[in-house]
Chain A
Amino acid sequence: MFKKFLSVAILSFCTLPMFASGINESTNLIDDTSQSKVLHLAGGNVGTLNPFQHMNRGPGIFRTFLIFDTLLEKDENGLIPWLASSYTIAEDGKTYTFHLQENAYWQDGEELTADDVKFSIEYYREHTPVYNQLVMNGKFIVDSVEVIDKKTVKIITDEPGVAYLEHLGYFAIIPEHIWSDIDDPRSYDGSDRCIGSGPFIVESYSATNGTYRLIANENFWGPKQAVDAIEWIPVSDANLAFEKGEIDLTTISADLISRYENNPEYTIKKVPALHCYRLMMNSETREEFTDKNLRKAIAYAIDVDDLIQKIDRGSAFVSSQGYIPNNSSYYNDDVIKYPYSREKALELLDGKEYSFTLLTDNSSSSTKLCELIKLKLEDVNIHVDIKAIDSVSRDNAIVTGNYEMVVVFYGGMGGDPDYLSNVYGASSNYIKGWSNEEIEELLNKQSVEFDDDIRRDELNRIQELISDEVPMYLMQGAYWNFIYRPNTYDNWTTRYDHNYLSHIKLSYLLRD
C-alpha cells in the first residue's frame, strides 16, 4: 500500500517539470533525416527572436537577424546590397533611395514592399526595438520616409553623415500586416511574432531549455542556405561538448590550442574580437590627470605584453593608441606607441608621487588584470587602491563619472570609424574632463566627408593626435580562437565590424 503511494508520488513529481516545459511554448518533435545538414551550436536562452523580445546581448541580436532582413548586409570588407539590391545617395548627403529585391516575400507568403520599410521606420520611432540602429547620439536619424513605388523607398535623414549608411542599412524590417495593430510589441505573443523575411525560420524555441531550432526558408529571395537547420543547445562545458561532437563550433582558450593545432581534423581560426581592455582616467575627479605627462607615464609604466601573457594566455594583441584596431583598413601605423619602459615613465613623472583608486568589476580576469597593473604602477611610485564592484555598478560609474581610474573591457571598435566621435567627439561624454578642440573639429569634418581620400587623411591625423593625448590607455585587444571541424562545416566567415563566426548571417549562406 505504501509502496503504491510512493510510486504514484514519484511519478507525479516527475510530471511537474513537464508542465513547466509545456507552458507557453511550441515544441515539436524533430524528425532528423540523414539527408539534411544540421549545424549544432552552444546556446542558451536569448529571448524570443523578434526585434522587440530578444535579450539585449549579442547572441540575441544576431540570432534575430537570421530571421529578419536588413536593407544592406555586411561582409568581410564592408556593406553589400541585401534587401536593397541597389541604392543611391543624393548630393545633399541626406537623401537615400533604396531599391528593394523583386522577389522578396515574408515567411508567411505576403509580399515585402516599400510600405513595410516605411512602416518599420515609423514603428521604431514610436516603439523602441531592443537593438536600435536608427538612433545616433540620442536622436532618431530619420526625418521622413517616402514610398516611391512598390519596391522603391526614399529615406531622408536629419543630417548628412558618412556613417549613416551603415545605420540605415542595418535595422530589421518588420511586416506591416502583422505589427500595425500591435500597441505593446514587447508583450505580443501571437504565433506570427517571429515572421521575418530572412533565410531562416523559427521552427522551435524553448525558453526553459534555452534551445532553438531554425530551419532554412525555402522561399528565401537570396543566396542558398549552407545548412538545412541550425540547432542551439545549452551545454555546461563548451569544450567538452565540442570534443564529444555535440556542438560544431566553439572558442578555446590559448592554453588548449596546442591540443588541437596539428590535427587535420580541426581548424583553428584566430580572429580579433574587436574588444579591448581600457584604463580610463577621470580628470574631473582627479585634476592630476589633466597633465598629459602623467597619462603618458602611466602608459609607459604598464607592461601590456606581460598582461597579454598572464591574462589572455597569449591570445591578445597590443592595442593601438589611435583607437582604430590594427586590422582595420583605416588603421594608421604612424601613431605614437608606448612600449613598456619604467625609465621613460619615471622620467615623465619627474619625481612626483601619486595615489589613486582603481575601479574594476569583480570578474576574476579584471581583478587579476588590476592587480598586475597595480604592481607596475607601484614600481613608478603611483600608489593604487583597487576597488572591485559588480559590472553593472562599474558601468554606471563610468557613465556618471564616479571613479578616478577604471578598467573596462569594451568594444565599439568595428565598422565605420565614425565611432571615434562617440568616444572622443564633442558630443561625447565618455572620457570625463578631457576634450581636445583639434580632434573634435577633425571628427566633425570626417563625419560628413564623402571623399574617401580626404577622409582617410583626416582619420590618420585624428589617430595621431589621440595617441599623443592618451586620454585613456588602450591596453590589449583580445582574440577569439575558434575551433571547428572543416569536414563537417567550414562556411564560417567574418564581418568587417564583427568577428564572432556564428553570429554572422553570411556564415550560413552559400556565396558564389
Chain B
Amino acid sequence: MKRFSNLGRIAMVVLSINIIFAIISIFLPSSFYAEPCCDSFISPSLHHLLGSDDLGMDIFYQIVHGSLISLLIGISTAVISGIGGSLLGILAAYKGGKTDSIIMGVCDVLTALPHLPFIIVLSVFVGSGLNTIILVISLLSWVGPAKMIRAKVMMLKNEKFIVAAESYGGNFFYITFVHLLPQVFPMVSVSMFKIASHAIIAEASLSFLGLGDPTSKSWGLLLNHGISFPGIYFTDYWKWWITSPLIMLILLILALSFIARDFEMILNKKL
C-alpha cells in the first residue's frame, strides 16, 4: 500500500467505501431499497439522503444496494475468468499440440467478436438474470488471462525446477497448482481487476439499454429508469436520481482501473 501512487490510494478509498456499502447492504432488510418508503420524488433530506424515485423508493439505499450488485458481478466475473482462463492457459501451454491449437483458436474467435453486441445477443438467448450475465461476461473475459498465462508458462515450461518436478513424477495437476500458479498469480491479479472493471461496465451497459436483469437494483438499471421516465427533463428530479448512479459507476470503474495500474507498476518494478 505504501508503494501506491496518490491516485491509487484514493482508488483504494473508493473501493473500500463500496465494499462497506456492499456489506451493509447484505444486512439491510430488502424493504429499504425494494419497497416504497415515502412519497415519490422527495428532495434529499436528512432522513432520505438522496431523496426518492418515481415509486417512492429511497434512492440512497438503492445506491448502497447497487454497490453490492456491482461488486458481486465484478468479483464473480474476475474470479471465474481469472481461474478459468489461467487453467486453460496453463493447459494450452503445457500440453501444447492439438490442445493448444484448439484453445488458441477459440481465443481468436472470441477476440474477433465485438464484445458488447455479442453480450447483448447472448444475454437475450440465455436470459437476463444476474447469474447469466456473469456467465456470459466470463465467457468472453477468460481469453485475456489465458493468453497471458500461456505465454508465461511457455517460458517457464523449460525451467529447471519444472523439469525437476516432472522427473520426480509430478503430474499435471500437481505441477499446475504447486509450481505454476504461484508464479503466474501476480500477473493474473492485475488482469482480474481489469476484468472486474469491464464486467461492471458491461452490466451497466446492458441494464442501461434495458436488456439486463430488471429485478436487480443495479446502478445501470437506475440510470435506465431515470432516463426513460417521461418528462424527466421537465423536472429537477434528475439531479439526484440520475447523477448518483452515474457518479458511483464512474468512481468505481476508475478506482478499479487505477488499482490495476498501480499493481502493474509494482509488479513491473519487482521484475
Contact = CB atoms under 8 A, between A and B. Distances in A.
A and B touch in the complex (CB under 8 A): yes
Interface of A: 237-240, 243, 252-253, 255-256, 310, 362-364, 367-368, 371, 375, 386, 388-390
A484 B147 CA distance: 62
A390 B124 contact: yes
Interface in B191-245: 210-211, 213-215, 224-225, 228, 230-234
A277 B26 CA distance: 33
Interface residues of B, number: 22
Contact of B128 (A240, A255, A362): A362
Contacts of A371: 34-35, 215
A389 B231 contact: no
Given A253-B231, A389-B128, A390-B124, A364 B225 contact: yes
B84 interface: no
A362 B233 CA distance: 24
B213 A239 contact: no
Contact of A239 (B36, B128, B234): B234
Contacts of B215: 367, 371, 386, 388
Contacts of B232: 237
B230 A367 contact: no
Contact of B230 (A253, A363, A368, A390): A253
Contact of A237 (B124, B213, B231): B231
B96 interface: no
Nearest to B57: A368
Contacts of A255: 40
Nearest to B214: A362
25 contacts: A237-B231, A237-B232, A238-B230, A239-B230, A239-B231, A239-B234, A240-B233, A252-B231, A253-B231, A310-B36, A310-B55, A362-B128, A362-B210, A362-B213, A364-B228, A367-B215, A368-B55, A371-B35, A375-B35, A388-B214, A389-B127, A389-B128, A390-B124, A390-B128, A390-B211
Contacts of B213: 362, 388
Interface in B113-144: 124, 127-128
Interface of B: 34-36, 40, 55-56, 124, 127-128, 210-211, 213-215, 224-225, 228, 230-234
Most A Cβ at <10 Å: residue of B124, B128, B228, B230: B230
A492 to B, nearest CB: 20
Contacts of A362: 128, 210, 213-214
B55 A240 contact: no
Contacts of B224: 364
Contacts of B233: 237, 240
B87 to A, nearest CB: 33
B51 to A, nearest CB: 15
B55 A237 contact: no
Contacts of B36: 310
A310 B234 CA distance: 21
Contacts of A390: 124, 128, 211
The 3 closest A-B pairs by CB, nearest first: A362-B214, A239-B231, A388-B214
A372 to B, nearest CB: 9
Given A386-B215, A388-B215, A390-B128, 10 more contacts: A237-B233, A239-B230, A253-B230, A362-B214, A364-B214, A364-B225, A371-B34, A388-B213, A388-B214, A390-B211
A367 B224 CA distance: 14
B29 to A, nearest CB: 13
Nearest to B216: A388
A363 B225 CA distance: 10
Contacts of B127: 389
Contact of A367 (B40, B214, B231): B214
Contacts of A256: 231
A273 to B, nearest CB: 16
B126 to A, nearest CB: 11
A364 B225 CA distance: 7
A243 B210 CA distance: 28
A405 to B, nearest CB: 16
Most A Cβ at <10 Å: residue of B36, B56, B224: B36
A386 B216 CA distance: 12
A364 B226 CA distance: 11
Nearest to B228: A364
Contacts of A243: 234
Most A Cβ at <10 Å: residue of B124, B211, B214, B232: B214
Nearest to A374: B34
Contacts of A368: 55
A386 B214 CA distance: 11
Contacts of B128: 362, 388-390
Contacts of A238: 230
A237 B214 contact: no
A375 B213 CA distance: 20
Nearest to B127: A389
Contacts of B211: 390
Contact of B234 (A240, A363, A364, A375): A240
A310 B40 CA distance: 9
A240 B214 contact: no
A314 B151 CA distance: 63
Contacts of B234: 237, 239-240, 243
Contacts of B214: 362-364, 367, 388
A323 B34 CA distance: 32
A386 B213 CA distance: 12
A197 to B, nearest CB: 37
